[in-house]
Amino acid sequence: MLAFATIVIGLAYFFSWYLETGYSIVVIAVMFSMVTALISFYASDKIALGLAGAKAISQQGNPYVYRLVENLAITAGMPIPKIFIIADDGLNAFATGRDPQHASIALTTGIITQLQNEELEGVIAHELSHIKNFDTRLMTVAIICVGIVTMLADMAVRNMFWGGGRRREGNSSGGILIIIGIVLGLLAPLFAKLLQLAVSRQREYLADASGALLTRYPEGLASALEKISHSQPLKHINQATAHLYISEPAGNPLSAQQGKKNRFGMASGHWFSTHPPIAERIKRLRTLT
């Protein structure tokens, strides 16, 4: 969060100084972001569930799933979230909501029918951990921050080309400042996105560990992740909500295996992945047994 704030303040300061607009860019960005942030904060769960085509279930409608969620929620000392089912043969699940009192979890029909009881418990414990650890809120805030940085950078670059500013002074530093501004405008959204993805990957590791602690059986989740890594992609995928799922819904092979590592010791493309490699997650879980 500190890194996001630093990027926003740095961009706002540079472009306000360069474009000689005072704080108008910052004011416009803040006003717009406040409106979108409020909508995202209070309606993000409904949006995510709607995009996934999830349908709510009751205790009478699916007593098996409801009982699993209820028992684990009681064990975790948290309210029972609303439960949704996604009609898809792929193996996946996600949690959403701004806090434990306003949370929901969604499970695909495939993950319910193809996992053993202990494996499904591990998946549900993982998603409940996301809720209890406030990961669902954190990722909503992170996405909002990325949106603010992207919008601010786009506004500033457009104004640099069409609005003038210090480039009109005609001195030798004008060209250098334009190049610096363009570079900042292009790289800032990328850096912000990389920060969001890094946060998403680390919270997956935390939810794995918290879920294993909740069930006292790490092998259940480890075995579930093995099956998930070989399952088919989901039929309906929206990249805006891909980070919510327990595994990359498009079936990114980088999530299923370590992949070839570069000289920095990271799997190729790892920085741009919403999830850490499943092989690494399984390895960490099995060190807990």
Residue positions counted in the chain? 289
Active-site residue, from 119, 121, 127, 204: 127
Measured CA to CA, the distance from residue 140 to residue 253 in angstroms comes to 25
Measured CA to CA, the distance from residue 137 to residue 130 in angstroms comes to 9
Label the pairing between strands 93-97 and 55-56: unpaired
Cα separations in angstroms, 280 against 32, 76, 207, 284? 40, 26, 14, 6
Whether 221 contacts 248, CB under 8 Å: no
Which three-class secondary structure state does DSSP give residue 283?
helix
- DSSP symbol at 91: -
Does the active-site annotation cover 118? no
Give me the helix-helix angle, 24-52 and 2-19, nearest 10°: 140
Provide the annotated active-site residues.
127
